[in-house]
Amino acid sequence: MDVLFHNVRELVDLAEKENKLISEIMIEQEMNMSGRSRKEIFEQMDRNLTVMEEAVERGLKGVQSVTGLTGGDAVLIQNYIAKGNSLSGDLLLDAVSKAVATNEVNAAMGTICATPTAGSAGVVPGTLFAVKNKLNPTREQMIRFLFTSGAYGFVVANNAFISGAAGGCQAEVGSAAGMAAAAIVEMAGGTPAQTAEAFAITLKNMLGLVCDPVAGLVEVPCVKRNAMGAANSLVAADMALAGVTSRIPCDEVIGAMFRIGQSMSPNLKETARGGLAATPTGKAIAAKIFGSAVTVE
């Protein structure tokens, strides 16, 4: 098994040295690690893209979770966009709505593609299908968007963590947002180095984000955190494309996230014992759903 890169510095250096896209380096790494052909790997990612597209479309039609805690917000946002009075811009809100749509489908027990987790599955497709309307990418470019996201997800998973239980929501939505930002930059014609800057800018502004699911369910505040992650991705991508750089290198930001996650209280890492889950309303929701009082340690 030949691993071409272990961290972002190696990834960017390799892309620059060989004059290749980040997505191409990730495809080659996947070929080396799995032993599968380029065609097989592309076809699998194409299927993942289809799953994402179908989830977004389903969510935009309106879904409701079994608990009733989430559902319908993606539709509300699209209706608001249609009025033409948005303050933050139609593209950003479109990404937000599509991120929300994906996570509402997840909460409604629908099929999604974890990127990198189910709880953070809205950010990458949300931004992808929003910038699609701006950049008009080919199907191959859309698939490459996912490979670029995957390259950064690979680095985080192997140098820090991507689960809320291990590192808080900074590890889930924070990682997803960084992955999306890097992929947006490549699709928009940015350099490999700029993809790293976008990731770093995104993640360092989501450091310390806790995982505090109300009633232990991947609904509140998870769905809206994906919305904010998508917005963060777009802003960071624009900043990187404008030439803004992160004073702290990308790999060091990932390292900082890892250390923050290690020092975070277990109550703030997917246990539903702290944060929003421990508020009076959060505990009341849990008691209503599960039929008994919830004790917060």
- Are the beta carbons of 200 and 182 closer than 8 angstroms? no
Cα 156 to Cα 254: distance, rounded to the nearest angstrom: 7
Helix/strand number for the chain, H first, E second: 14, 0
Quick one: pLDDT at residue 76?
98
- What distances in angstroms separate CA 240 from CA 17, 60, 174, 273, 289, one per listed residue? 21, 30, 17, 37, 44
Domain boundaries, the chain: 8-290
Quick one: pLDDT at residue 228?
98
pLDDT in tens, the chain (297 residues): 789 999 999 999 999 999 999 999 999 999 999 999 999 999 999 999 999 999 999 999 999 999 999 999 999 999 999 999 999 999 999 999 999 999 999 999 999 999 999 999 999 999 999 999 999 999 999 999 999 999 999 999 999 999 999 999 999 999 999 999 999 999 999 999 999 999 999 999 999 999 999 999 999 999 999 999 999 999 999 999 999 999 999 999 999 999 999 999 999 999 999 999 999 999 999 999 998 644 444
Quick one: pLDDT at residue 294?
47
- Are the beta carbons of 225 and 169 closer than 8 angstroms? yes
- Are the beta carbons of 272 and 215 closer than 8 angstroms? yes
- What distances in angstroms separate CA 265 from CA 164, 209, 211, 261, one per listed residue? 12, 12, 10, 8
Quick one: pLDDT at residue 2?
84
Cα 78 to Cα 66: distance, rounded to the nearest angstrom: 23
Quick one: pLDDT at residue 297?
42
Quick one: pLDDT at residue 296?
43
Question: Please, what CATH class does the domain formed by 8-290 belong to?
Answer: mainly alpha
Hey, which residues does 269 pair with through a beta bridge? 211
Residues in contact with 80: Cβ distance below 8 Å, sequence separation at least 6, in sequence order: 86, 93
Q: Amino acid letter at 263?
A: S
31 token code pair: 């070929």
Cα 213 to Cα 235: distance, rounded to the nearest angstrom: 26
Q: What pTM was estimated for this model as a whole?
A: 0.96
264 token code pair: 């975070």
